[in-house]
Structure 1
Amino acid sequence: MEKCKTLMCRGLLPKRQTQKKSCKDKRHVPRSNQEAPANQLCYDEEDDSVWLFEILDSIGANDDYRKTIQRESIKQEILETFGGYLTCYYMGGTFEGAVTPDEPNDIDVMKCDEMFPVIQDISEAKMNCCSLLIVQELDTPDGYVKLQLVYNGIPCTSTDWHRFIGMHKYLKIDRFGRIVLFDFLMEPYKDDLFSRPKNKPAVKSEKYYDLNMDTVISYRCKTWPKEAQEWLSRKRHHCWPSTDMIQELQTLGFFVVRKGHPFSPEIDVEWRISLSLQERKLMFNLTDVQHKCYIVLKMLNRDVINLECITTYHWKTCLFYVIEESSSNDWEKNKLWHCIIRCIKLMLRWVKRGFCPNYFIPRENLFDGRMNASWRLISVNVLEEILNVRFECLLFVKRNNIGDYVRSRGSSDWYKWLQLNSKKVYNEALYYKNTATIEKTLHVFNTAILEQLFNLANGNVVHFVKCIWNVLGCIQHACSSPITGHTHYETKQSLSLLLPYMYTCLASNVSAMAIHNQNCQVRDFLLFGSFIYFRGGKLSGHLKFISVLYAIGMYKDCEWWLHQLDEECFKYNPSFCNCRYIKSDSTMAYEYIINTSNLKVFTCVSFLPTEIAIIPNALIFEMFRHFGISLTHEDKTNAYCCWHYRAVVDCNIFFFLLKYVTKEKLRCFQECENARLCIAFLLFVKNVRHRDVANNLLAWTFRSNYKTPLALMCLAKSWEISNSWDLCFMIFTDEMKQKQYQFNSAKLHMLVILYSIWYARKPSIIHFCFQCFSMSEEKIPKCSRCKISTYCSKRCQIANWKKHKRVCKIVRNYHTV
Structure 2
Amino acid sequence: MDRLADELRDFSLRLSRVLDDIGVNERTVMMRRRTGLIFESLNTLERYVTNNGDLTMFMFGSQTEGSTTLGLNSDRDTLIYSNRWNIIQDLCQWEQGKINLMMLRDNVAPGYCRLQMLRSDIPVAREDLPDDDYEYDDEGRVLMKNTFHDLQPGEIRHGPASSDADLNSDYVLGLPCRSWPTEALPWVTRTTAHQWPGRNLKCFSVNGGCFVVPTGHCLSETERLEWRISTSIAERCLMFNMNITQIRCYVVLKMIMKTFLNGIVTSYQCKTVLMYLVEITNSELWREENLISCIIMSLRLLQLCVFINNCPHYFIPENNLLDGRLNLETRQNIVFMIGNIIDSKCIAILGIEMDNIGDRLYAICNPFIRRNSIYFMSPKDVCLNIYRWLQHDLYKYIHISFLQIVNGLDNHTHIRNCDEMKDSIRRTLKFRENGSCSERAAAEMLAPLLCTTLGTKLASADISRGWCISAESLQWLSFGIDSDVASGRLKLASVLFCSGDIHRSSVTLHDVEQRYDTRVTEPLCGCKDFRVNISSLRFSDNCLLCYDYKTTLNINVAFEVVFTREEKHCVPNGLKYEMFRCTEEEHRNRDENHDYWMDWAVVDSLPYLYYLQYMTYRRLDNRAGQQRALGRLIHTIDTEPHLHHRETALNLLGQCMEIEDRLMDAFTCYRRSLNWKSTHNVARWHIVNLLYRFL
In the other structure, the counterpart of 2:258 is 302
Give 2:215's match in structure 1, choosing from 227, 239, 259.
Answer: 259
Count of equivalent residues: 673
Task: Find the residue that maps to 1:639 and give its secondary structure.
Answer: coil
Deviations along 1:165-194, one digit per CA (max 9) or x if unpaired, are 4x1x21121222211111365x4x553222
Query: Structure 2: how far apart are the matches of 1:561 and 1:213?
Result: 40
Question: Counterpart of 2:392?
Answer: 435
Distance 1:508 1:180 in 2: 51
Q: Write out aligned runs for 1:669-684 (5 A).
A: 669-683=623-637, 684=639
Partner of 2:549: none
C-alpha separation in 1, matches of 2:537 and 2:399: 21
Q: Who is 2:424 aligned against?
A: 471
Indicate which of 496, 500, 504 corresponds to 1:557.
504
AA aligned to 1:83 is E
Question: 2:447 corresponds to which residue?
Answer: 499
Q: Is the 8 A contact 1:574 1:687 kept in 2?
A: no
Q: Look up the equivalent residue of 2:324 and give its one-letter code.
A: G
CA drift at 1:406: 2.9
Residue 217 (structure 1) shift: 1.1
Residue 246 of structure 1 and its aligned partner are, at CA, apart by: 0.8
Name which of 122, 125, 146 aligns with 2:94: 125
Question: Unpaired segments of 5 or more residues in structure 2?
Answer: 544-551
1:520-565: per-residue Cα shift (whole Å, max 9, x none)?
6xx5444544444454645322111111111122222222222333
1: CA distance, partners of 2:635 / 2:599 = 28
Structure 1 residues 114 and 412 mapped into 2: Cα distance closer, same or farther (>3 Å)?
farther
The answer for the alignment partner of 2:528 in structure 1 is 581
Give me the whole-angstrom Cα distance separating, in 1, the residues matched to 2:75 and 2:330. Answer: 26
What is the match of residue 330 of structure 1?
Answer: 285
**Contact 2:400–2:527 at 8 Å: present in 1 too?**
no
By how many angstroms is 1:476 displaced?
3.1
The equivalent residue for 1:150 is 118
Match of 1:238 in 2: 194
Over 3 Å counting, the alpha-carbon distance change for 1:62 and 1:512 in structure 2 is same
Does structure 2 conserve the Cα–Cα contact (< 8 Å) formed by 1:506 and 1:533?
no
**3-state SS of the aligned residue for 1:442?**
helix
Alignment of 1:678-757 (within 5 A): 678-683=632-637, 684-722=639-677, 741-757=678-694
SS at the partner of 2:57?
A: strand
Which residue in 2 is equivalent to 1:652?
606
Tell me how far apart the structure 2 counterparts of residues 744 and 463 of structure 1 sit (CA, whole Å): 31
- The residue type paired with residue 306 of structure 2 is V
Candidates 151, 171, 194, aligned match of 2:155? 194
The secondary structure found in structure 2 opposite 1:176 is coil
Distance in 2 (CA, whole Å) between partners of 1:371 and 1:588 is 39
Among candidates 2, 19, 24, match of residue 56 of structure 1: 19
Select 2:233's aligned residue among 274, 277, 280: 277
- 1:108 match: 77
Partner of 2:108: 140
Counterpart CA distance in 2 for 1:664 and 1:649 is: 21
* 8 Å Cα contact 1:511/1:527 also seen in 2: yes
The 2-side partners of 1:611 and 1:410 are apart by 64
What are the residue-to-residue correspondences of 1:362-373 with 2, within 5 Å?
A: 362-373=317-328
Is 1:376 paired with 2:331? yes
Deviation at 1:423, TM superposition (A): 4.5
Distance in 1, matches of 2:217 and 2:526, equals 42
Deviation digits for residues 483-502 of structure 1 (CA, Å, limit 9, x no counterpart) = xxxxx332222122210110
Indicate how the Cα distance of structure 1 residues 126 and 184 shifts in structure 2: closer, same or farther if over 3 A, else same: farther
* Letter in structure 2 aligned against 1:629: E
Change (3 A) 1:589 1:625: farther
* Letter paired with 1:127: Q
Q: What amino acid maps onto 1:581 in structure 2? A: K
- 2:480 and 2:117 map into 1 onto residues whose CA distance is 51
| Residues in 1 aligned to 2:672 and 2:460: alpha-carbon distance in whole angstroms | 33
Deviations 1:264-293 (A, max 9, x none): 343221211110111111112211111111
- What is the aligned partner in structure 2 of residue 181 from structure 1? 144
1:615 to 571, 591, 599: 571
Separation in 1, partners of 2:688, 2:534 = 34
Counterparts of 1:541 and 1:376, CA distance in 2: 59
The change in CA–CA distance for 1:417 and 1:595 in structure 2 (over 3 A counts) is farther
Moved over 6 A (4+): 18-22
Q: Which residue of 2 aligns with 1:203?
A: 162
**Structure-2 change in CA distance of 1:524 and 1:356 (3 Å):** closer
Residue 750 to residue 588, structure 1, CA distance change in 2 (3 Å) = farther
Q: 1:389 aligns to what?
A: 344
Task: Say if 2:296 is the partner of 1:341.
Answer: yes
Equivalent in the alignment of 1:79:
42
The equivalent residue for 1:96 is 65
**TM-score, normalised via structure 1 length:** 0.78
The alpha-carbon distance between structure 1 residues 319 and 652, as it changes in their structure 2 partners (threshold 3 A), is same
Report the equivalent of 1:354. Answer: 309
Alignment deviations for residues 304-323 of structure 1 (CA, whole Å, 9 cap, x no partner): 23252x21111100100111
Aligned residue type for 2:64: F
- Structure 1 CA distance for aligned equivalents of residues 532 and 184 of structure 2: 50
TM-score by length of 2: 0.91
Task: Compare 662-671 and 437-446 and name the one that shifted more.
Answer: 662-671
Residue 234 of structure 2 is aligned to residue 250 of structure 1:
no
Residue type at the aligned position of 2:457: N
Asked if structure 1 preserves the Cα contact closer than 8 Å seen for 2:84 and 2:98, the reply is no
Return closer, same or farther for 1:687/1:354 CA change in 2, 3 Å cut-off: closer
Structure 1's 559 and 212: CA in aligned 2 closer, same or farther, altered over 3 A?
A: closer
Rounded Cα–Cα distance in structure 2 between residues aligned with 1:398 and 1:54: 17
Conservation of the 8 A alpha-carbon contact between 1:225 and 1:254: yes
Larger radius of gyration: 1
TM-fit CA distance, 1:697: 1.2
Taking only aligned residues, the RMSD between alpha carbons, in angstroms, comes to 2.5
CA contact (8 A) 1:588 1:686 kept: no
Task: Structure 1 unaligned segments of length 5 or more: list them.
Answer: 1-17, 23-42, 483-487, 723-740, 759-817
Partner-residue secondary structure (3-state), 1:117: strand
- SS of the aligned residue for 2:296 comes to helix
Identical pairs, percent: 25
CA distance in 1, matches of 2:137, 2:683: 62
**What is the CA deviation profile of residues 80-125 of structure 1, one whole-angstrom value per residue up to 9, with x for unaligned ones?**
1233453211111122111012232422211123211101101211
| Compared CA separation, residues 537 and 580, structure 1 to 2 (3 A) | closer
Q: What code does the residue aligned with 1:682 have?
A: T
SS of the residue 1:126 aligns to? coil
Q: CA deviation at 1:425?
A: 4.3
Asked if the contact 1:101/1:426 (under 8 Å) is kept, the reply is no
Residue 430 of structure 1 deviates from its aligned partner by 1.8
1:661 aligns with 2:625: no
